[in-house]
Amino acid sequence: MSHALVIGAGPAGLMAAEVLARAGVSVTVAEAKPSVGRKLLMAGKSGLNLTKDEPFETFLAAYGDRSGALRPMLAAFGPADVCAWAEGLGQAVFTGSSGRVFPRAMKASPLLRAWLGRLDGLGVAIRTRWRWVGGAAFDTPEGPQVLAPDVTVLACGGASWARLGSDGAWTGGLPADMLTPFRPANMGFKVDWSDHMARHFGQPVKNVILHAGRVRVRGEFVISARGIEGGGVYAVSGAMRDGAALMLDLLPDLTESDIRARLAARRPKESLANTLRKRLKLDPVKQALVMEFARPLPDDLAPLLKALPVRHGGPRPMDEAISTAGGLRFEALDQGLMLRDRPGWFAAGEMLNWEAPTGGYLLTACLATGRWAGAHAAAWVAGRN
């Protein structure tokens, strides 16, 4: 029987292992941490967002300039397939009002337990605390180990959340010309707040449009002692990271003319704060942002309330990011995700140079690329035999 080695036991690696095992290949999964799927479990603490229920072309567009490279993989294993896969593991799913799909249990742990049970039934051997040091060699608690696989799948993760296993250390095992430097993705941004903002730390800023470069997103975000974070910020974080200014439309349901008309109804002795609250329904946290970023206030507030510039100090550290951009370049891989200069070596998951927003896109593409790499690895080893 042929033997496959999968390096990394996140969603991409486990999916590759399952596909290989179903093809009749003996599979060993090597994981550097003491347990598997640690980042998946962390993601599930706030509700495991499996995928997004929307038209395929809309879903694909979320991957930006990597949508072309990922198209065949996501076409073969897209949102509907992710749902069917989860339900096949006994995890019923539901779709929220935003189109995001979650397991009814919300957490990742029941799904992961069921998945590991399935893999065990398929004969997949999982070795934890095995740290890859190059080739098929590992540092393990029992000392150095060297395997002799017929085919290898790399699923080593990105470079954020190092304590969960995604530390980017694997880059030392590949030539530099195959790699694009890692950058944070889906991350918060540093803001050096003035003292008056402290009472708003932890507060959400709801119903705004965030605009950075060509990206406009309606959503919300959170003010923290360290800066700004949350879904709305994550959605525009790539453009901000690459230099685009962040602008906030604090009143997305009103035009500038509407705002001017309401401000004109201000009574002679009415304070500006009361006018913003009563006439424009601007809550205290939005008012605080105006005072933080717009002083001295102009005579015409309408343009400012529709496009408030947010000063920030750049992204939070990469290890705090939900995911990363950069990694193994698609140009170094063939259409089956095999390394062009290393026959029999495949790659999948977040270690590839693609970037996805939150909302289920990241996990779906990890599963899809893992399935794709596993299927082509199985076909490759079968062809050799």
Same domain, 203 and 234: yes
Q: With 90 as the cut, is the pLDDT of residue 362 above it?
A: yes
Residue with tokens 């959170």: 222
Give me the sign of the Cα torsion angle 300, 303, 306, 312.
negative
Among residues of the chain, what percentage have pLDDT more than 70? 100
**331, 322 in Cβ contact below 8 A?**
no
Residue among 380, 383, 378, 374 at smallest CA distance from 154: 374
Give the mean pLDDT of 131-145.
96
Contact residues for 83 (Cβ-Cβ < 8 A; gap 6+): 50, 51, 93, 101
Residue among 32, 374, 371, 270 at smallest CA distance from 173: 32
* Pairing outcome for strands 26-31 and 125-128: parallel
Residue among 36, 15, 27 at smallest CA distance from 81: 15
Same domain, 78 and 39: yes
Alpha-carbon distance of 79 to 59, in angstroms, equals 9
Instruction: Look at residues 294, 310, 326 and tell me which one is the last residue of a structural domain.
Output: 310
Same domain, 225 and 323: no
Alpha-carbon distance of 292 to 196, in angstroms, equals 8
pLDDT band at 315 (very low <50, low <70, confident <90, very high): very high
pTM, full prediction:
0.94
pLDDT band at 239 (very low <50, low <70, confident <90, very high): very high
Task: Express each pLDDT in 294-314 by its tens digit.
Answer: 989 999 999 999 999 999 999
Instruction: Look at residues 310, 332, 362 and tell me which one is the last residue of a structural domain.
Output: 310
- DSSP codes joined into one string, 117-147: HHHHHTT-EEEES-EEEETTEEE-TTS-EE-
Alpha-carbon distance of 182 to 235, in angstroms, equals 18
Q: With 90 as the cut, is the pLDDT of residue 269 above it?
A: no
Predicted local confidence at residue 173, as pLDDT: 87
Same domain, 325 and 196: no
pLDDT band at 55 (very low <50, low <70, confident <90, very high): very high
Same domain, 26 and 165: yes
Predicted local confidence at residue 270, as pLDDT: 87
pLDDT band at 385 (very low <50, low <70, confident <90, very high): confident
Predicted local confidence at residue 43, as pLDDT: 87
Predicted local confidence at residue 272, as pLDDT: 85
Which residues constitute the domain of residue 73?
3-184+317-384
Give the mean pLDDT of 214-239.
96
**377, 334 in Cβ contact below 8 A?**
no
Predicted local confidence at residue 46, as pLDDT: 82
Same domain, 177 and 30: yes
Instruction: Look at residues 310, 331, 352 and tell me which one is the last residue of a structural domain.
Output: 310
Same domain, 260 and 137: no
Same domain, 170 and 239: no
Q: With 90 as the cut, is the pLDDT of residue 133 above it?
A: yes
Predicted local confidence at residue 266, as pLDDT: 87
CATH number of the CATH domain containing 333: 3.50.50.60
How far are the Cα atoms of 2, 84, 197, 224, 357 from residue 230, in angstroms, in the given order? Answer: 46, 29, 18, 10, 12
Alpha-carbon distance of 367 to 373, in angstroms, equals 10
Same domain, 296 and 335: no
Q: What is the mean pLDDT of the chain?
A: 96
Predicted local confidence at residue 44, as pLDDT: 82
Cα dihedral 344/348/354/357 (nearest 10)? 170
Predicted local confidence at residue 86, as pLDDT: 98
Predicted local confidence at residue 45, as pLDDT: 84
Predicted local confidence at residue 107, as pLDDT: 94
Amino acid at position 168, single letter: G
Long-range interactions of 194-201: CB distance < 8 A, separation 24+: 194/292, 196/288, 196/291, 196/292, 197/223, 197/288, 197/292, 198/225, 200/284, 200/285, 200/288, 201/225
Among residues of the chain, what percentage have pLDDT more than 90? 94
Give the mean pLDDT of 78-93.
98
Predicted local confidence at residue 183, as pLDDT: 96
Same domain, 234 and 147: no
Three-class SS string for 196-258?
A: HHHHHCCCEEEEEEEEECCEEEEEEEEEECCEEECHHHHHHHHHHHCCCCEEEECCCCCCHHH
Q: With 80 as the cut, is the pLDDT of residue 158 above it?
A: yes
* Pairing outcome for strands 215-224 and 227-229: antiparallel
Q: Where are the alpha helices (DSSP H) in 44-187?
A: 56-61, 67-76, 79-88, 109-121
Would you call the peptide bond into 55 cis, given omega within 30 degrees of 0 as the criterion? Answer: no
Number of folded domains that form the chain: 2
Same domain, 151 and 254: no
Same domain, 20 and 140: yes
Among 45-54, 62-71, 264-273, name the one with the lowest average pLDDT: 264-273
